[in-house]
Structure 1
Amino acid sequence: MKKQQQYQLLDKKTVHKSYTRWIMFNLVATSYEFLEAFGFAYSMEPVLKKLYDPKSKEYREALKRHSIFFNTEPQLGSLITGITVGLEEQRALGNKEINGDFINSLKVGLMGPVAGIGDSMIPGMIIPILLSIGMGLGQGGNVLGPIFYIVSYNLIAILGSRYLYYKGYELGTASVDLFVGDVAKKVTQAITVLGTVVTGGVAASYVTVGLPIKIQMANATLDIQKILDGIFPSLLPLLVVFVSWYFMAKRHVSPIKLILAYFIISFVGYGIAYGIMAL
């Protein structure tokens, strides 16, 4: 399909309203049965009202079509919303190659590839990088750290998703090639590896666990932490990272519960260590 001309039946205000609804309300009224479906339908509503008579059968069918199960990474997922808007416009213009089943199949087909790339890129790479910079700036109680993270993340998310939305609307089905095929798989794998490296770097820099146990001997002091560092430096932080990953990924323990557990363990452990050193 050739690159379509923008705003043939839709105007800029309607398209922008659709994008704003998606980026603001993509996770509204979620459930296991629908997830982002209602957010998607809500973003499509102004477009459908512009293309079809709200009392017509076409309008009802289109709104129903966009209310079925939908789930993807929201920021990169704006590309799918933009593509769908463009396809609905082409369908309303009378393009016989595009029907409701084609639009729905394309949405469903893009959910997985876009989610794979988006989840690897945003939670797996961008967020850890921004958090590491923010934590570095925020050391000592500097308010610049959280401000940097909030501003930088929102700028990247909003500007990036807006660009992808309009690019999807502009290219239509031609943008599918960006997220399907061998190239997309290689990009996803590269981003996943990079995200893993970044997460490991953040953990190594900011996770600190020590055993402040020093046993007084007859002629010397036995420092347990120095012994562990001599055998395997940063062994305890590494174990904490693996244990955290295991409980969250395999046992589905929430981060809040894990933090509370670590607090209790630290409190009890400090008491035990203090008692040992007092002997």
Structure 2
Amino acid sequence: MDNTQTPKKLDKKTLSKSFHLWFWGALTCFSQEHMQTFGYLCSMLPVLKKLYPEHKDQENAIKAYTAFFNTNPMLGSVIIGITTSMEEARANGKGIDGETINDMRAGLMGPVAGIGDSLIDGTLIPILLGISLGMSQNGSPVGAIFYIIVWTLLAYFGQKFLFFRGYELGDKAVSFLVGKQGAAVRRAVGIVGGMVVGGVLASWVNVQTSLKLYNSNGKAFLDLQKQLDSIFPGLLTVVVTLFCWWLMSKKHVSAIWTMIILVVISFIGVLCGFFNPGLSY
């Protein structure tokens, strides 16, 4: 690069276009082989076109974004922002190459996913769903409307803030996300997320059995639900929850198939008299 040239600088329009491509297309062409690779690559196209007018230079630069990539889509926008800053530095000849950028992407995937999955999927979404469920009692649509509006606003402006913050900080943000501070944040968020999920579980999930055994006089001498409550209140709820966790976490069963399995178990339980279809769960 000729040092006499004016330094290349990404304008706000280009940055905004890059962010919106990530926001709307983070999971573009999603597959088990590539995950978010093509969504990431698509979001970087406006940046590369702006920084490298020559088509051949664009081809060379884009190779750094063909490698596998997968992280939390919400917090992943900060990685896109950091990348745009590093790509700008590379275009200005500041000693950054495609391998450096790719190493940064690979290094941040895990930490950002750990924070994002705990903070967003394990904490924020259960809180919003808990509030929405409370507002949707008696069939009111207010809860669903509340969730759609609030989640959309949080997702959009939250990702936008992280994207531009990542661009401003550049590689300075890397040391925080992968360092001791980032590890402490991940642990803390994981604990809070577990507490939130436990609270939502205790408030909204209630699995009970209607199984009773009767003597020859027609009187019930065993009420299984009362016996379970005397030993461990909510035991069936815990068992069902752990069963779902085991299916999805250990056996890698999808959420849809897990729900189908629960429906089958419920149907068989009703036929056997273990569950009462008239009970509200």
After TM superposition, is the score higher than 0.5? yes
Instruction: For 1:186, give the aligned amino acid.
Output: A
Counterpart in 2 of 1:145?
143
**Structure 1 position 201 matched with structure 2 position 199:** yes
Counterpart in 2 of 1:93?
92
Counterpart in 2 of 1:71?
70
Q: For the residues of structure 2 that align with 1:275 and 1:168, how far apart are their CA atoms?
A: 52
Deviation per CA, 1:11-69: give whole Å up to 9, x if none: 1111100000011111111233322111111111111111112423x211111211221
**Partner-residue secondary structure (3-state), 2:139:** coil
Asked if 1 retains the 8 angstrom alpha-carbon contact of 2:8 and 2:51, the reply is no
Q: For the residues of structure 2 that align with 1:153 and 1:38, how far apart are their CA atoms?
A: 25
Counterpart in 2 of 1:268?
268
Counterpart in 2 of 1:47?
47
Counterpart in 2 of 1:27?
27
Post-superposition shift, 1:273?
2.1
Q: For the residues of structure 1 that align with 2:59 and 2:30, how far apart are their CA atoms?
A: 21
**Partner-residue secondary structure (3-state), 2:86:** helix
- In the alignment, structure 1 segments of 5+ residues that lack a partner are 1-6
TM-score (norm 2): 0.88
Asked if 1 retains the 8 angstrom alpha-carbon contact of 2:208 and 2:275, the reply is no
Counterpart in 1 of 2:208?
210
Asked if 1 retains the 8 angstrom alpha-carbon contact of 2:8 and 2:91, the reply is no
Instruction: For 1:260, give the aligned amino acid.
Output: I
Q: For the residues of structure 2 that align with 1:91 and 1:164, how far apart are their CA atoms?
A: 21
Post-superposition shift, 1:84?
0.9
Describe how 1:199-278 pairs up with structure 2 within 5 A.
Answer: 199-217=197-215, 218=217, 220-222=219-221, 223-273=223-273
Deviation per CA, 1:211-246: give whole Å up to 9, x if none: 223444449544332222122111111111111111
Structure 1 residues 219 and 44, CA, compared in 2 at 3 Å: closer, same or farther? closer
Q: For the residues of structure 1 that align with 2:235 and 2:123, how far apart are their CA atoms?
A: 24
Counterpart in 2 of 1:37?
37
Deviation per CA, 1:120-178: give whole Å up to 9, x if none: 11111111111111111112111111112222222211111100100111111111122
Q: For the residues of structure 2 that align with 1:275 and 1:134, how far apart are their CA atoms?
A: 28
Structure 1 residues 101 and 258, CA, compared in 2 at 3 Å: closer, same or farther? closer
Q: For the residues of structure 2 that align with 1:99 and 1:124, how far apart are their CA atoms?
A: 36
Deviates more, 1:163-172 or 1:129-138: 129-138
Q: CA RMSD in A?
A: 2.1
Q: For the residues of structure 2 that align with 1:150 and 1:100, how far apart are their CA atoms?
A: 39
Instruction: For 2:107, give the aligned amino acid.
Output: G
Instruction: For 1:17, give the aligned amino acid.
Output: K
Describe how 1:99-178 pairs up with structure 2 within 5 A.
Answer: 99-178=97-176
**Corresponding pairs, count:** 268
Deviation per CA, 1:45-96: give whole Å up to 9, x if none: 111111112423x21111121122111111111111111111111222232x
Counterpart in 1 of 2:3?
none
Structure 1 residues 275 and 37, CA, compared in 2 at 3 Å: closer, same or farther? closer
**Partner-residue secondary structure (3-state), 1:157:** helix
- In the alignment, structure 2 segments of 5+ residues that lack a partner are 1-6, 277-281
Identity %: 44
